[in-house]
Structure 1
Amino acid sequence: MTKFETYIASGTVILDGGMGSELEKRHIDVNNIWWSASALIQSPDDIRDIHKNYFNSGAALAITDTYQAHVKSFTDQGLSETKAYELIDSAVALAKSGLEKSHRNNGLIAGSVGPYGAYLANGAEYTGRYHLTEQAYQNFHRPRIARLIADGVDILALETMPNFEETKAIGHLLQQEFPTVEAYLSFATEDGDHLWDGTPLAGAVAYFETVVQIKAIGVNCTSPQNILPALEKIAPNTSKKIVVYPNAGDEYDPKTKRWVSQHGPINWAELVPLWQAAGASLIGGCCRTSPDDIQEIAQAVIATEK
């Protein structure tokens, strides 16, 4: 078995939490077209430290700060292609270094592959309202995927995917050009019932059942209250491991590029066992969650596995 398969076969895997909000706590301005990836230039040491904190809080998997770090994102703003690739390299190296400096003996590094909507930097990952040809989607995603693989990530994290046609194009790309590479696929959903583009979640999950390179499938960056409804659509339609990592329940304002805080305390001790019972086996947090949240998730998992 691969390293990722070994982890997911051994019990519940704890993922990390939000990166952008942790950078904001350190007074790093991420309100720009590159979002948290801008810290790869501004303050890489903080990225490393945040990864370390998540590992020390109980996470077994770090997601690289490459969600919005696409080659075209950087070159559009005047950076050279060489520099763009170096920043992707740096993101992977910082995640690995965070693991090395943590208290963990081992862990996983997932290479974040955000959707085309993230590149648009207008909140389109929360609408799915964009349309490219399959070849155009593949041409967009190929450079970052190839570089993350070359940098030695353990798994690709195809995350916050709101557009079904885009995910099919990426799946075909992996099958055709990267046949030995493993990934997990996490859809973006408004309500736990449909992808943001309107595709029924159950059907989207079922489509990837025969794509063997997708080792886990699920949802992320939706409110915690949507996770259980989503699991009810996911579990009957897949034999794969199921991944869920909600945001903190806030809403994103694409005009200000900021999250609007509307949530109260999240009772992870109550929610996590319900998600496990419904089929989830990779659990973490997304935007606005913190190392404290991941620690509570880890403690809830430990309590259920005693």
Structure 2
Amino acid sequence: MSIASVEPSWAISDFLLKSGGYAVVDGGLATELERHGADLNDPLWSAKCLISSPHLIRRVHLDYLEAGASIIISASYQATIQGFEAKGLSRDEAEVLLRRSVEVACEARDMYYETCTKGSWDDPKNEVNLGQRPILVAASVGSYGAYLADGSEYSGDYGKSVTLEILKDFHRRRVQVLADSGADLIAFETIPNKLEAKAYAELLEEEDIKIPAWFSFNSKDGINAPSGDSISQCASIADSCGHVAAVGINCTPPRYIHGLIQSIKKVTNKPIVVYPNSGETYDGIQKKWVKSAGVEDEDFVSYVGEWLEAGASLIGGCCRTTPNTIRALSRTLLSKSALSK
């Protein structure tokens, strides 16, 4: 299913209508790549696999599709032209890799549909056989802080020298390339401040991007973005942009999601997307996740009912969640959807 031809402000709503009212977003990418043997100790993080092992990315996308995900997010979160150039690649080579991130996800979707048609599954115990459900590929755009690889996407502090124009210049070509890559939408993820949200919104308008986008913020306290900007202020920027089709939260502890949804609902009627992390904390200095308050899959999924009740309609997982998390989540959403009919 392509939603590029649908008016951006209605695109996700139309997709949800065709999906039974709710849709499952995939889970963490880096954790799964490492589980499959990838070494991600690199400033490019998961984007390193676009150079060295795209087949592992495809495998993880397939794992999430088989678990029930209806939206898979490309491995371009940390993939920037500037980051690839710092590795010695040319600008043309960097753009090829950006496009490749979406191509790999589209290939996984095609392979999944082919498997459904043949009635064959890698995991014979898989109970989430959703057949020819609509599946979207979202092109991930990580924040400026993700490129810096210093954990500043979790602080929102870029320094006074980083202006709106600098952020727009940094992201512009990347957004253009991903918008023309064959993706169904662009997922602007882990946005830590309203300045970067404004930069994205202006870029979408200036470049007249033809595919819809979602803006997904993060929070450390359940009230504000890491910068201290209120989530309501951030969501208002997304609401005012006609190219933004959904607004939400990612890479935030599950315990904060309900209140954040309520804050977002006060300023927008657009669909709400939430994909929390496991509840663990990222240490930007040591560059690792600290097992502070992580939750098990069962605990993660136990929150879903209140997220739905609060107004979320697209739900998945972020860092440290797995296909098992998404499988449990998919079963829960299927049962909710069935009860609403």
TM range (shorter): over 0.9
Q: Report the TM-score, using the length of structure 2 for normalisation.
A: 0.86
2:139 is matched with which residue?
Answer: 111
| Partner Cα separation in structure 2 for residue 109 and residue 86 of structure 1 | 17
CA 1:159–1:18: 2 relative to 1, 3 Å = same
- Residue 124 in structure 1 maps to residue 152 in structure 2: yes
2:193–2:225 CA contact under 8 A, matched in 1:
yes
**Structure-2 residue corresponding to 1:152:** 182
Would you say 1:241 and 2:276 are equivalent positions? no
Q: Secondary structure at the match of 1:112?
A: strand
**2:280 is aligned with what amino acid?**
D
The residue aligned with 2:217 is 187
User: Which of the numbers 85, 88, 94 marks the counterpart of 2:95?
Assistant: 85
In structure 2, C-alpha distance between the alignment counterparts of 1:207 and 1:47, rounded to whole Å = 32
Identity in percent: 37
> Are the aligned partners of 1:231 and 1:275 in contact in 2 as well (CA < 8 Å)?
yes
User: Aligned-pair RMSD on alpha carbons?
Assistant: 1.4
Q: Matches of residues 130-141 of structure 1 in structure 2 within 5 Å?
A: 130-131=158-159, 132-141=162-171
**Offset, 1:39:** 0.9
Q: Secondary structure at the match of 1:62?
A: strand
Sort the Cα spacing of 1:179 and 1:19 in 2 relative to 1 into closer, same or farther, 3 A: closer
Q: State the partner residue of 1:48.
A: 58
Number of residue pairs matched by the alignment: 306
The 5 Å alignment of 1:147-296 reads 147-262=177-292, 263-266=294-297, 267-296=299-328
1:40 and 1:87 in contact (8 A); partners too:
yes
d(CA) in 2 for partners of 1:111 and 1:208? 17
CA positional deviation for 1:86: 1.4
- Tell me if structure 2 keeps the 8 A contact 1:4–1:154: no
- The gaps in structure 1 that reach 5 residues or longer are none
**2:320 counterpart letter in structure 1:** R
Cα distance in 1 for partners of 2:310, 2:269 equals 13
Aligned equivalents of 2:220, 2:334: Cα separation in 1: 30
AA of the residue aligned to 2:84: F
TM-score, L = length of structure 1: 0.96
Query: CA 1:90–1:179 in 2, change beyond 3 Å: closer, same or farther?
Result: closer
**CA 1:296–1:77 in 2, change beyond 3 Å: closer, same or farther?**
same
**Aligned-partner Cα distance in 2 for 1:156–1:249:** 25
**Alignment partners' CA distance in 1, 2:17 and 2:242:** 16
Equivalent-residue separation in structure 2 for 1:77 and 1:23 (angstroms): 20
Q: Give, as a single letter, the amino acid of the residue that structure 1 aligns with 2:233.
A: G
Choose 1 or 2 for highest CA Rg.
Answer: 2
Q: Contact (CA 8 Å) 1:37, 1:67: kept in 2 or not?
A: yes
Q: Displacement, 1:171?
A: 0.1
Determine the C-alpha separation between the residues in 2 that align with 1:151 and 1:218: 24
Matched-pair contact (CA < 8 Å) for 1:4–1:108: no
Higher alpha-carbon deviation: 62-71 or 86-95: 86-95
